[in-house]
Amino acid sequence: MKRTLEARFKDFCLGLSKKDRVAVLHHSDPDGFCSGLIVMKAIEKLSGKKPVHIAHYEYANEKQAREFARAVKKKKLNKLVLVDIAIDGDIQRKRIIKPFDRALILDHHKIYEDLNSEKVVFLKAGWFSKKDPAQYACSKFCFDMFGKVTNVSAFDWVACVGILGDMGFESWKSFVKKTMVKRKLKLDQLNFLLEMIAATEVMAGNRMNSLLNEFYKAKNPKSLLKSSFVKYIKAVRCERDQLVAGFDKRAEYIPEVDLFVYEFVVKRDGIKSYVVNEISQIHPNTNVVVIQDSKRGDLRISARRQDYKVRMNELMEKSIHGIPKSNAGGHIPAAAARIPKKFRAKFRANMIKVLKKMKKK
C-alpha cells in the first residue's frame, strides 16, 4: 500500500504545471501553518509558481468551508492540496473536495475513512511510519514526502517548529538538534517562532495569511524573530497565565475517573489550547478537559493526557454522542470538541460515563 500511495503522490506532484490553479488548505494551528508553508514552497518548485489561493481551516467549520468553496469558484481553482486536517471525518469534506479536478491530502490524525480514489490521493502518516501518528507532526510528514519529489531541505526549520507545536520534540530530538546546528538556531528561538504563530492565531486570526506570507518571504528564520507579529506574544502570555493561575481555584476534580474539568469564559478563540497545554505539562498523567465559553452559542473544548493511557480523541468523539451540531476529533494525547452551549450537562454526563467504561477495559 505504501509503495502504491507513494507512486500516486509522485504522479500528482510531478504532474503540476504553471497551467494549474492550486489551492492550499491547512489547519490553523502551528503544525498546520508549518505544513501549509512547506507545501507552498514545494508547489512553487514543482509547478514554477506559487499556489493561487491559500487558506486556513478549523475542523468542521461550516463558515470557513463555504468561504473556501466561493473562492474556488471565483478563482477557478482546479487542484487542491490539503494538510493537517482530518477531512475523512469532517462533515464539510464534500463541499471542500468536490469542486476540484484532483486533490492531494496529507494528514496525521486518526484514520476515519480511506478517501483514495481516481480523483483523490489520500496519505495518512500512520501508513508511512511506525511512530504514533500524533508524534509524526504533519509538517514533518510533508517535509519527508515532498522531499521525495523536490528539494525542500531549506525548510527543515519549518518542520521543527511544527514538531514543537505538536509536542513531538522527544520523538524527533535528533532531527531537531541536527537542524539547530545546521541553521545556528537555539531551541528557545524555535519555540519563540512557534509561540508567535500560536499567539497570532489567538489574537489576530484574520492576519494568519499575512504571517504566512512573512514566513514565506523570510530569507532565514532568525529574521522572523524581529517580526511585528511578536507583539501578540506578550498579550497571549498574560491572558494564558491568568487562566492557568485560576485552575487550582476553579477546576473541578472527579477522582472516580481521574478527571480535571476547568471551565472559563473568554471571547478569544484558540486560547483554550494555550491554557490546556500548560496545565497538561503540570498534570501529564491525568485527564484534563478545558471548556471555553466564548460568549457565542457554542462551547469549545480541549482534552489532554500525555501518558497515552486514555485515548482523548475517542473520549471526545464518544462524549458528543447524541448532541446535534457538534464535532470532535484529534489525537490520542490531545483532542478537541465543539458543542452547542445548551448541551453542556449532557456532554459532561457522557464524558464521565465514557471514562468509566474505559477504566473497566
Mean pLDDT value across residues 97-105: 98
Residue 237: per-residue pLDDT: 93
Contact 315, 118 (CB under 8 A): no
Per residue in 306-360, pLDDT (tens digit) is: 999 999 999 999 999 999 999 999 999 999 999 999 999 999 999 999 999 998 7
Q: What's the CA gap between 321 and 350, in Å, rounded? A: 8
Which architecture, in CATH terms, is 2-232?
Alpha-Beta Complex (3.90)
Residue 319: per-residue pLDDT: 98
Point out which residues pair with 106 in neighbouring strands. Answer: 83, 123
Q: What's the CA gap between 84 and 128, in Å, rounded? A: 15
Q: Given a cut of 90, is residue 170 above it in pLDDT?
A: yes
Q: Given a cut of 90, is residue 267 above it in pLDDT?
A: no
Q: Which three cell numbers stand for residue 161?
A: 517548529
- Residue 339's H or E segment, with its range, is strand 334-340
Right CATH number for 246-360 from 3.90.1560.10, 1.20.950.20, 3.90.1150.10, 3.10.310.40? 3.10.310.40
* Alpha-carbon distances of 304 from 107, 279, 282, 321, 353, rounded to whole Å: 20, 9, 11, 19, 18
Q: Which three cell numbers stand for residue 349?
A: 454526563
Contact 203, 232 (CB under 8 A): yes
Contact 137, 165 (CB under 8 A): yes
Q: What is the pTM of this model?
A: 0.93
Per residue in 106-156, pLDDT (tens digit) is: 999 999 999 999 999 999 999 999 999 999 999 999 999 999 999 999 999
Buried b (16+ CB within 10 A) or exposed e, 82-107: bbbbbbbbbebbeebbebbebbbbbb
**DSSP H helical ranges for 166-245:** 173-183, 187-203, 208-217, 231-245
Per residue in 190-248, pLDDT (tens digit) is: 999 999 999 999 999 999 999 999 999 999 999 999 999 999 999 999 999 999 999 99
Domain boundaries defined on the chain: 2-232, 246-360
